[in-house]
Amino acid sequence: MFDKRKIVLASLSPRRRELLALTGLSFQVDAGDYEEKMTSHLPPRALARRLSRGKAAAVARKYANALIIAADTFIIYRGEFLGKPHTAKEAVRMLRILNGGTHSVITGFTILDTATGKMTSRSVETRVYFRKLSSREILAYVRSKEPLDKAGGYAIQGLGSLLIRSIEGDYFNVIGLPLAAVAEALKDFGVFIL
């Protein structure tokens, strides 16, 4: 039965696709049509799990015998949710907020077996410590266009690495998929990466 079961990554994020590919798993991508709503009054980690469950469920309807892996990542700074900036002005604002401080990157992920209905949802939190940046550094980084469409306005795996003093926790979580936690959860579904 297992050889016929597909693995589907419910995300269009190229970063999540690259990370899951590191595991050597064979998978396909189907983002579905789930509309994220950040207006919930849930605590951040519970909200991340809820959003990932919604993404998994939206894709699961299309597959009879598949493992769906869905994730949602966002940033929390002093209780404020920071999503993805879509303009340079928004990116500058976000980077000024994060400048010299500490924030949390939270990813909720869900694995759903469409054949059995079995599902697990977990969340992972990583603390990120920004350096104190000058206005020139912030503007130069924003001019690189890397901050656009990245949670919090930076990419730790790119030029954004220069903004960061240190992290506590899973590096891959900051990119968008906590690989070790996902690999551990997949064991409960009969998928062993190592």
- Known catalytic residues are 72
Taking the C-alpha atoms of 22, 194, 27 and 31 in order, what is their torsion angle to the nearest 10 degrees?
A: -70
CB 178 within 8 A of CB 108: no
What DSSP designation does 161 have? G
Alpha-helical segments (H) within 129-175: 135-143, 171-175
Strands 6-9 and 28-29: parallel
Strands 164-168 and 119-130: antiparallel
What DSSP designation does 180 have? H
Q: Which residues contact 3 (CB under 8 A, 6 or more apart)?
A: none
CB 141 within 8 A of CB 163: yes
The closest of 86, 92, 105, 74 to 148, measured between CA atoms, is 86
Q: Where would I find the beta strands (DSSP E) of 117-162?
A: 119-130
